[in-house]
């Protein structure tokens, strides 16, 4: 009781005098400091030890708070990339995707070429499969070319236009493939859409129009004199070559979804070079066409030579289209500069 009376006899200011020390710690609540410091008046040694530990913890925390760096701006952290080398990783991933696409396109192209090639060779070699019983290998190889020719003539008699359309479609597809390989593309890395467009033009237009053109040419020059063959060659390489080159160029342009103005400009720029390029090849080939080959067999001979000519023709057409596309891309990039 004496101890209690002695504590009660003190003034309140003497009891809470240590509270003034909270000014050293402006970041902490006065209630916490007053509570912890008031425990120093307790006479229990265990409580004093605990109180001293609490006071030391508060002082150490206050010192760490004073030495701590200023708060970081979370908006700056949001602008930082999640990965330090994220752009490089994305580029590598995109490059991997491009490689996968190239490999898949090459696999598709190779399967198409090998599939159609195997089908064609098997059809040619098995023309006499119903009569092979008892034949030797020599007899099979001997009669295969002759019997294939007989089958071709029978097809010409049955459906002449369809047979010629099929031949022209195959030749124009193979010719465009050769043109792409000549331009530097790998064997199975060709543009399948471009080859399909060329084959479509050959199938739908060249085969049918050539069938009627050679009939018209015979009706136009119904003579057997020596000058008929040179006259047919000149007519072929002026009138018919101009018409067919223009048809091929315009139809390919529309199949590429180009505008009529662009097609006209490209045709105007390439008309004369294509015509004169044909003069280096066709006059010599057409001396055989109109002088030796019968009318019904002319397209087959012409299509054999077309493998060379379609390569030239397709190269001309696609070079102008790619150059025009590059010019449009450059003009659009110059008119719309990148925003900094």
> Distance between CA atoms of 255 and 233, rounded to whole angstroms?
31
In sequence order, the 6+-apart residues with CB closer than 8 A to the CB of 62 are 24, 25, 27, 28
pLDDT for 138 equals 84
pLDDT for 129 equals 78
pLDDT for 192 equals 87
The 10 Å Cβ neighbour count of residue 18 is 15
**Please, is 20 exposed, middle or buried when counting C-beta atoms within 10 Å of its C-beta (0-12, 13-18, 19+)?**
exposed
Indicate the SS3 state at residue 1. coil
Contact 188, 106 (CB under 8 A): yes
Question: H or E element: which one contains 88?
Answer: helix 86-125
> Distance between CA atoms of 212 and 60, rounded to whole angstroms?
104
Sign of torsion, CA 222 225 227 229? positive
264-269's contacts with Cβ under 8 Å and 24+ in sequence apart are 265/324, 266/317, 266/320, 266/321, 266/324, 269/320
Listed as ranges, residues in the chain with pLDDT below 70 are: 1-97, 318-340
pLDDT for 237 equals 94
| DSSP letter assigned to residue 17 | G
For the question of whether the overall pTM of this predicted structure is more than 0.75, the answer is no
């Amino acid at each position: 009781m004496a101890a209690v009376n002695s504590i009660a006899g003190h003034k309140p200011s003497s009891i809470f005098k240590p509270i003034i020390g909270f000014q050293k710690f402006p970041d902490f609540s006065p209630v916490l400091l007053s509570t912890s410091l008031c425990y120093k008046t307790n006479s229990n040694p265990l409580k004093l030890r605990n109180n001293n530990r609490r006071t030391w913890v508060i002082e150490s925390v206050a010192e760490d708070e004073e030495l701590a760096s200023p708060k970081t701006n979370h908006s700056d952290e949001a602008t930082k990339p999640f990965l330090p080398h994220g752009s490089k990783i994305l580029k590598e991933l995109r490059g991997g995707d491009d490689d996968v696409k190239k490999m898949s396109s090459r696999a598709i192209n190779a399967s198409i070429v090998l599939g159609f090639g195997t089908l064609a060779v098997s059809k040619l070699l098995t023309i006499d499969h119903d009569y092979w019983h008892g034949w030797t290998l020599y007899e099979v190889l001997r009669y295969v070319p002759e019997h294939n020719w007989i089958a071709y003539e029978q097809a010409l008699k049955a459906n002449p236009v369809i047979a010629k359309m099929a031949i022209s479609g195959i030749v124009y597809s193979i010719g465009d493939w050769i043109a792409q390989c000549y331009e530097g593309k790998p064997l199975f890395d060709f543009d399948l859409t471009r080859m399909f467009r060329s084959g479509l033009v050959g199938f739908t237009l060249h085969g049918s129009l050539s069938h009627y053109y050679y009939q018209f040419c015979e009706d136009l020059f119904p003579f057997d004199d020596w000058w008929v063959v040179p006259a047919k060659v000149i007519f072929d390489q002026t009138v018919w070559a101009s018409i067919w080159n223009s048809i091929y160029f315009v139809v390919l342009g529309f199949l590429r979804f180009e505008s009529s103005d662009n097609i006209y400009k490209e045709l105007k720029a390439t008309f004369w070079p294509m015509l004169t390029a044909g003069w280096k090849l066709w006059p010599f080939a057409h001396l055989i066409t109109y002088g030796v080959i019968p009318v019904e067999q002319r397209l087959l001979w012409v299509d054999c030579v077309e493998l060379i000519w379609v390569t030239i023709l397709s190269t001309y057409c696609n070079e102008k289209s790619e150059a025009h596309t590059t010019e449009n891309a450059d003009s659009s990039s110059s008119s719309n500069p990148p925003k900094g």
